[in-house]
Every structure is written in structure tokens, then in C-alpha cells.
Amino acid sequence: MIAFAPRENLQRLCIIRTLFVGSLVVALLWAQLRLNLLLNLQALGSILLVSTLLTLVTLWRLKAAAPVTQTELFGQLLFDVCTLSLVFFFSGGATNPFVSFYLVPLSIAAATLAWPYVWAMLLLCLLSYGVLLFFYVPLADLYPQIRVQGDVTRMAQLHVIGMWLTFVISSLLITTFVVRMASALRRKQRELATHREQQLRNEQLMAIATLAAGTAHELGTPLSTLKTLLREMQLDHASNPSLSEEIQCLLDQVNLCRDSLNTLVCNSRDNQPRSMEIQQMLTRLIDRWQLMRPQERVSIDIATSLSGLSTLWDPTLDQALINLLNNAADQSESISLSACTDKDSFQLRVRDYGKGISARNAEELGELFHSEKHEGMGIGFSLSQATIERLGGQVRLYRHPVQGTVTEILLPLIPRNPLSP
């Protein structure tokens, strides 16, 4: 997600810290030269020097390619809170009028970090402010002297305690509402990003569908010619059984291509999903796929619990599952296929025994025109994913812990009709 990226937030934090250090330097010079306040300049100067060095180190670190984690950002904010505490300790503690500056790192944490870090930051700020009520280097000129009848010191203490209570309430309100607003904004941005990706993918798929329709029309004539020539060759070489068998295999492949083109035409007319029994769908799927890949060895394990269960189906689902089977078959000479139920879903797992999917390819899966195969067009997995998601399912790939890659497909189960046997 682009917004709230830890790297960008850390860059902004360095800018805020630089402004804070510069402002504090100006304030110290003003307090020393104009107000004649007795400040521990050596201690305060050392604190500002360390803060400046950390800022420079952080800017150098941001040039590296290593990702910035939320833990690292929390550590930077933790340093800033400690820096503020030390500065306030040497400049009047809770009587310092700028003590509410604790709200700055707290607000940053609330807007950018996960809630465990936010609540840890809240407790740290409240604890630091509370300690400064009792332990600090006092400055008489900063102590609020309220000129009323009665105990002046007691009234001043009540004023400081009132400032602390106001800080506590403000901190709780900021933490609670900013965290919720930031979470809502992140969620909205994720939804918008997902919607944009889906819209872009749909536009790309629509362009591919238009090209596919034109290509299907063009392929009709050469396929008919091939079919006619193969039949004539089969008649001419009827006396050669081995050659006739090979010609029949070619005829089967041509007929399969013709069926695929006819399916494409039917899909353009009626692509409404309907219910189909899972075992029937799998039987048709496996028979068709083994006709395409007769040399491939496949082990099949279909759970008996699938008997009588149905899922959503349309003609494009067969093509989507065949694409995933072909991807697995391209990686090894044998694959395994298992089907079972998973809560309210039908789970189909396809495993190959190849080298396994790499982490880089796993991140780029689903992007159109990306393929790890030399002759691949990079649209098979994207088309399969779009079809399965349109039917309410999910598909994911992951590396098998022993060998190969597992393709996991989840499709929703259609509830049984209570009147059915």
C-alpha cells in the first residue's frame, strides 16, 4: 500500500525532528541571552547533538534498499519521546509550557502504526509526563504563580496537575479516534486499490476477449482444412496401423480445437453460471485434459464426501482449470490431483513435482503477460484467476515443503436441496 508507507513516514519524522532541534536551539539562545534563564546548556546541547546524529544516520539508512518496518519506526518515535523527556527534565519538567509536545509523537504513532504500538506509545507518554510532575530541574521563572488569596504554592500545583489531566484526556481522545480514522482510511485505500486493479485487469481481459473472438473466426477455416486432409491421409494409409494411430491422434487434437472454438462461441451467447455436480465436473475435466496431454501421468484422489455436492459452473471454468493443470504438467512429467471439502467450499489441489515456484514469481502471479515459461504468453493464470474469482472462488499457489508447487482452488458449495434424497 502506498499511503502510510513506513519509509515515507520515517522521512517525514526526520523532517519533524530537524525542525524540533532547530526550534529548540533558537529557544535556548533566546532563553539564555534575553531571558537570562539558568539552563544546563551542556546537558541540553548533548541531547540535541545526539538527536542530530541520529537524524543523519537515519537519512543515510533510508538510502538503502532494505524495507522500513513498523518496529523501526516505533523505535525512532521511542527515541524522540526519551529526547523530549530529557529536555523537559532539565527545563522545568511538567511546568514547562511546551510539555504538551508529547502529543506530536503520539499523534504520529496513532496515524501510522498498528494499535499495539500506539497503546505502548500512549502509556510511555503518560508515564513520562507523570514522572516529570515530581522529578525535574525546577526553573522559578517557568513556575505558574497564581496571585489569589490562599496558598500560592498549592494553587500552582493544582494548575500543573490540571495540565497533566488535560494531557491525559487529550491523549486518550487522540489515540482512540485517530487510530480509528487511520484504520478506516487505510481500509478505504485498500478497497480503492483493489478496485483499480480489478478494473484494469477487466479492461485487459476484455481486450484479450475481443482478440480471441477474431482469432477464433480466423482459425475455423484452417482447422476444417486440416481435418479434411487428415481424414484423407487416414484413408490413404489404412494399411499402416502405426501411422493411422498417429493420424487419429492428430484428428483428436484438431477436434479438440474445434470444440474449444465452439465453446467460445457458446460462451459469448450464454455465460450465466449454473449448478453442476462436482464429481460430474471433475470426470469431464479429467477426460478432456488427458485427451490433450495423453503422455502425462496423473494420480487422482477424489474424496467420497463430494458425492452429491454441487458448485457453480460455467463453460469458462473448464478452461480455467485446464490452464492450471497444464501449468502444473509443464513443470514435471507427473502430477497429483486431489479433491475434498473445506468447510463451505470445494477444494481442488494440483501438485507438480518440479523445482517449485520462486518467491519472485509468486509475487508477480496474476499480472497479465507475465510468464516464467519461455514460450508462455502470460495470460493463462490471469484468465483462470479471473474466472474462478467471478464464480466466488479463490486460487493460490505456494511451494510444497518437500518438492514442487501446489495450486489450490476453492469454489463455493451450493447447499443441498432439503427436498432432495
Amino acid at 121: M
φ/ψ region of 378 (left if φ > 0, alpha if ψ in -120 to 50, else beta) reads left
pLDDT for 369 equals 43
pLDDT digits (tens, 9 = 90+) for 372-416: 554 444 566 777 887 888 888 888 888 888 888 899 999 988 876
- Residue 263: pLDDT band (50, 70, 90) is low
Residues in the chain: 421
> Is 283's pLDDT higher than 50?
yes
Burial of 247 (0-12, 13-18, 19+ CB in 10 A): buried
> Is 251's pLDDT higher than 50?
yes
> Is 100's pLDDT higher than 90?
no
pLDDT digits (tens, 9 = 90+) for 105-139: 888 888 888 888 888 988 998 898 888 888 888 77
- Residue 78: pLDDT band (50, 70, 90) is very high
State how far the Cα of 240 lies from the Cα of 141, in Å rounded to an integer. 113
Strand segments, DSSP code E, in 184-331 are 274-277, 297-302, 310-313
- Contact yes or no for 319/263 (Cβ under 8 A): yes
Per CATH, the architecture of 274-414 is what? Answer: 2-Layer Sandwich (3.30)
Return phi, psi of residue 352, to 5°: -105, 175
Amino acid at 63: K
State how far the Cα of 29 lies from the Cα of 213, in Å rounded to an integer. 77
**pLDDT > 90 fraction of the chain, expressed in percent and rounded:** 6
pLDDT for 417 equals 52
Parse the chain into domains and list their residue ranges.
6-143, 199-269, 274-414
Most confident of 156-160, 183-187, 237-241, 306-310: 306-310
State how far the Cα of 295 lies from the Cα of 330, in Å rounded to an integer. 12
pLDDT for 56 equals 92
Q: What pTM does this model have?
A: 0.47
Q: What is the DSSP letter of 304?
A: G
